[in-house]
Structure 1
């Protein structure tokens, strides 16, 4: 199948009638629907070998060190590197933006963000900084050993971060990623709760680079398209095309933002639900997959000043968490679909990874009765 056939046109999940869950999305159906959250992305596509990039998520427009948001990290499977994770879980807060990039570039990205943060106004006396950087391995399409992410690319991602629509697919930290044997990438989605359930917004962004047996709202897309994990072991012909991963290995970073006023304890609970959304798409969190979910709250009532002597916060009670959980699970699921459906075929480093053929996906969805809700 030609690249043109694979890539024309690319659409989001809802354009295929795929709308997981019961709650409506925000205006952009993106993590930026959480007020104040901004996303910046830099795509590095150089020569025949470099296919990688940086995605930056800024929790609010101010100085993240001076005005900290509560946060928590859930590790679904820890085969990966997540810089800054121990302090996030110890103190329950973020003090920098979040960066996503490729595996062997995490330290370069962390160093560049540290320089950028320390150069900000009112940071001259700071002598400790917990930068937060996640990664997935794009070493198939990208010459990962060249460690091509530069400080300039990191600064550009941070300084160009904006609200509004978020570019998806083969961009930023998703430039060289692979998911379910097809081209993966960056995906995002959001949910707005009814006012009777608090009216809170939950937004998700994923860096999809993992495997498994793809299903879309229960439709067995991976099996029907003859590309899935362990295919060699179960299929008589034993023939996996392209870069399909026979063990479902890979990684995924899931970032969950909300304006619900949550403590780091309840953010840890929220983060753990991200794995439920991931499981709906067909992942089993394989041994070789680094599956991390980072959740944070932007609510002013739970914000923490860096030098505060006491914290006086107003936070959501446990009994009010269930709808927020539901929203996050649904938004994670849809974010993964958006990453896949918006990704384009990419060649690099001597390999080509095809975008999932959306015409075939439509056929499978129709056969299995998947359609958008009324």
Structure 2
């Protein structure tokens, strides 16, 4: 199976193009790659259509990699910390992150059933590059794409994960139906990968903070954007199936044919089933306990968007700082910096702002997708989102219009 490599530049309007800002100033790309040295790669797997045949498809999945120090800096760890709002999910390697305060190598994100092969691929990559020890406990996170994807067909292979690491780059980050986010559903719309960043004013340190999400959580009825109940305003466009037979999965036993979807305004997939992975990168000089404080602010953004940390959701977050941590060659003592705790509030705010924007970007960039058993999940319609924002008086002029 030949993976389809996603184009690096987002093709669809993003939040600020539509006049939705969530506050704060962004970095140049409004992406996690605004944090110097951070690279992102995707490998996207899309093949087949029709009925689900385990092991054959349809395939709607992939792998995403975030490299905190790029490939050249793979041997040098970063300070890091993780936090789980609800732990019905997986992020390998976090036991050592918690013990040591350090993260080595890439952070990989994929589907639930592919965590093992991706984890082993990172170890393989390390062994091939003389970093078997440094990359022996890799961080690999997941969300469940089994509604649209033949998840137990194990279509993500070692070569896909290796190619994702080797193909990671800086610059614009592809969003939506790409990489690990290919088959994901967010608030009842097509979701996936999203990213955003914030640049603090020089008076507050001038630090950059970037976020990348794999968005696969949340109910439609609770979906909110800057306080606007968008899920209540766009109640139709519920997931449906295109074929003549109902989907085989018991998880979607209440799903209706797409021919009836125009009149369908209630959820057709179980509420509270899904997950979100959030990665936060910053160049601010933070120690592990401070990075845990950053990770603990991510749920505030999810709550603002309408998430509850439901029982069947894996809401797991990891934050890291790119400040140097290695001691000089002639000394066992590393000299690192620590931002005073009293100056963390702007970074807390940046985390909440950028996480909200990244979640929305994951939906704005995603295209309607039809997957296993002909199940179709619709993209968030930009025009109706703008209409809802205007209805509640929360729609300033779009960024492009203000610039003209």
Query: With structure 2 as the length reference, what TM-score do the two structures score?
Result: 0.83
Q: 1:315 to 1:291 in 2, by over 3 A?
A: same
Residues 94-133 of structure 1 aligned to structure 2 (within 5 Å): 94-120=103-129, 122-123=130-131, 126=133, 129-133=136-140
Matches within 5 A, 1:177-256: 177-212=184-219, 213-226=222-235, 244-256=268-280
> Per-residue displacement from partner, 1:82-111 (whole Å, max 9, x unpaired)?
111111111111111000000000000000
Per-residue deviation, 1:63: 4.9
CA contact 2:126–2:134 (8 Å) conserved in 1: no
1:328 aligned partner: 351
Deviation at 1:129, TM superposition (A): 1.0
Q: Distance in 2 between matches of 1:180 and 1:307?
A: 53
Matched, 1:277 2:301: yes
Provide closer, same or farther for how the CA distance between residues 152 and 197 of structure 1 changes in structure 2, counting only shifts above 3 A: same
Q: Distance in 2 between matches of 1:214 and 1:307?
A: 54
Aligned: 1:32 with 2:33: yes
Question: How many residues matched?
Answer: 352
Q: Deviations over 1:265-304 (max 9, x none)?
A: 100000111111111111111111000110000112x456
Following superposition, the deviation at residue 241 of structure 1 comes to 5.4
8 Å CA contact retained: 1:68, 1:306: no
Corresponding residue of 2:97: 88
1:56 corresponds to which residue? 65
Is the alpha carbon distance of 1:160 and 1:308 closer, same or farther for their aligned partners in structure 2, counting shifts above 3 Å? Answer: farther
The Cα shift of 1:245 comes to 3.4
Name the structure 2 match of 1:348.
371
| 1:71 maps to which of 80, 88, 93 | 80
- Once the two structures are superposed, residues 120-157 of structure 1 have per-residue CA deviations (whole angstroms, 9 ceiling, x without a partner) of 1x436x38711100000000000000011011111111
Q: Which runs of 5+ in 2 are unaligned?
A: 1-10, 50-57, 239-262
Contact 1:10 1:344 in 2 (8 A): no
Contact persistence 1:185–1:209 (CA under 8 A): yes
Contact 1:343 1:355 in 2 (8 A): yes
Q: State the match for 1:235 in structure 2.
A: none
Q: Are 1:180 and 1:245, in contact at CA under 8 Å, matched by a contact in 2?
A: no
Q: How far apart in 1 are the matches of 2:332 and 2:148?
A: 49
Flag the 1:304–1:207 CA change in 2: closer, same or farther, 3 A: farther
Structure 2 partner of 1:5: none
CA–CA separation in structure 2 for the residues paired with 1:79 and 1:27: 35
CA separation of 1:103 and 1:305: change in aligned 2, threshold 3 A: farther
Gaps of 5+ in 1: 1-8, 229-238
- CA pair 306-140 structure 1, distance change in 2 beyond 3 A: farther
Provide the residue aligned with 1:231 in structure 2.
none
- Structure 1 residue 243, shift from structure 2 partner: 6.5
Backbone CA RMSD of aligned residues: 2.1
Looking at structure 2, the residues matched to 169 and 277 of structure 1 have their Cα atoms a distance apart, in angstroms, of: 19
**Which residue number corresponds to residue 267 of structure 1?**
291
Q: Judge conservation of contact 1:66–1:305 (CA < 8 Å) in 2.
A: no
Distance 1:250 1:306 in 2: 46
Partner of 2:241: none
8 A Cα contact 1:67 1:305, kept in partner: no
Give the conservation status (yes or no) of the 8 Å contact 1:180–1:244: no
Q: 2 CA distance for matches of 1:61 and 1:127?
A: 15
Corresponding residue SS for 1:75: strand
- In the alignment, is the contact (CA less than 8 A) between 1:68 and 1:304 conserved in 2? no
The residue aligned with 1:233 is: none
Matches of 1:245 and 1:200, distance apart in 2: 41
Mapped pair 1:15 → 2:23: no
Kindly indicate whether the alpha-carbon contact (under 8 Å) linking 2:194 and 2:361 is maintained by their aligned counterparts in 1: yes
Alpha-carbon distance in structure 2 between the residues aligned to 1:304 and 1:295: 22
C-alpha distance in structure 2 between counterparts of 1:139 and 1:72, whole Å: 29
SS of equivalent to 2:116? helix
Which position in structure 2 is the counterpart of 1:257?
281
